[in-house]
């Protein structure tokens, strides 16, 4: 999804351990249990609210060398968000 990959010196995630190029910028998908009480969101806390998270997914993540082809802009309406 590319969280943080647009930063000058991004956290390389799982790649730091495996040195496998496919793991560059990869982070564990966390449980969303009690998520309304655990802001801020993402490994770097870059998204302050759940509305910000929905906006992030609606934009299709952040373009980067490992962006999953299934993560793409959704163009959700306000009602769908």
Q: How far is the CB of 21 from ligand HEM (least distance, A)?
A: 17
> Which residue, 16 or 32, is less far from ligand HEM as judged by CB?
32
Helix, strand, coil percentages (3-state) for the chain, rounded to 5, are 25, 5, 70
Comparing CB distances to ligand HEM, the nearer of 1 and 24 is 1
Residue nearer to ligand HEM on the CB measure, 21 or 80? 80
Look-up of token digits 């982070």? 27
Four-residue CA torsion sign, 45, 42, 71, 80: negative
Catalog residues that contact ligand HEM under the rule CB under 6 A.
Answer: 1, 3, 27, 29-30, 32, 35, 38, 41-43, 50, 53-54, 57, 70
Which residues have CB under 8 Å from 59's CB, separation 6+?
73
Least Å distance between CB 42 and ligand HEM?
4
């Amino acid at each position: 999804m590319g969280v943080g990959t647009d930063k000058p010196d991004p956290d390389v995630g799982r790649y730091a351990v495996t040195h496998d190029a496919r793991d560059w910028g990869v982070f564990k998908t966390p449980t969303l249990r009690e998520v309304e009480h655990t802001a801020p969101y993402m490994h770097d806390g870059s998204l302050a609210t759940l509305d910000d998270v929905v906006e992030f997914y609606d934009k299709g993540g952040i373009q980067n060398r490992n962006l999953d082809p299934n993560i793409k802009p959704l163009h959700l309406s306000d009602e769908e968000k």
